[in-house]
A = this chain, B = another copy of it.
Amino acid sequence: MPILIDIRKLTIIGKLIQHGAKNVADSLSTMADIEADIQIKSLSFVEPGDIPQEIGDGEFYHANIRLTEPPYGVFLMTFDSLTAREIAEHMTGQQATSGSLNAMHESALQEMCNILTSGFIDGIANTLETTINMQTPTLERADSEIIAEETLSHIHADSLSIVLDSVVDLADQDTEFQLRIFLVPDPGAFVNLIDKLDIEEIREIEDPTERRGTDRAF
């Protein structure tokens, strides 16, 4: 059965992501005292079966939550070991000896995942004029195939996955963290939420002071 959306409402998906990213930046500032800019470098739509390929080959850190409210589905964030070390070292101020993370590093990473996940989901929920309660994501490390298998086992093969390549650009230094975010909503619930929104309203709630960099803000 087709799940229909007005094609002109696709601009709302861009706004959702823009607001999610902005909220992540705000959350990083208030919750972790980190001034950062979040840029979405690319947006694409793939089928769930292509997600392992999108994550990449090998082992990745990942945090995921199942959304128990509309738009349901899964939020998944992945990043590689290099990014993990950079985040952990930045947050703790401690170097990782011979590349391996200690308990404090792991804890800082988990904290960062919580901030990024809740910031993003809250930003999207605000734009959708709803709330999305969620559990705390657990940070784990696994092969991309296993990540996809465990995270998406309950997702229909013909769901739509929104894939975002994002970069957290720290203001106070020349450091960037590269993250990949997968939003795999229940297509019907997602379309329902978007259908309720008016494009003009979305515009109004947009922050007029928001910066638009050449690096593309959606």
CB within 8 Å of B: which residues of A? 2-8, 10-11, 13-14, 40-47, 53, 56, 158-160, 165, 187, 190-191, 199, 212, 214, 216, 218
Contacts and interface: CB of A to CB of B under 8 A. Distances in A.
A187 B14 contact: no
A190 B8 CA distance: 11
Given A4-B5, A6-B4, A47 B199 contact: yes
Nearest to A12: B45
The 3 closest A-B pairs by CB, nearest first: A2-B6, A4-B4, A10-B45
B8 A7 contact: no
A160 B11 contact: yes
Given A41-B42, A216-B42, A6 B8 contact: no
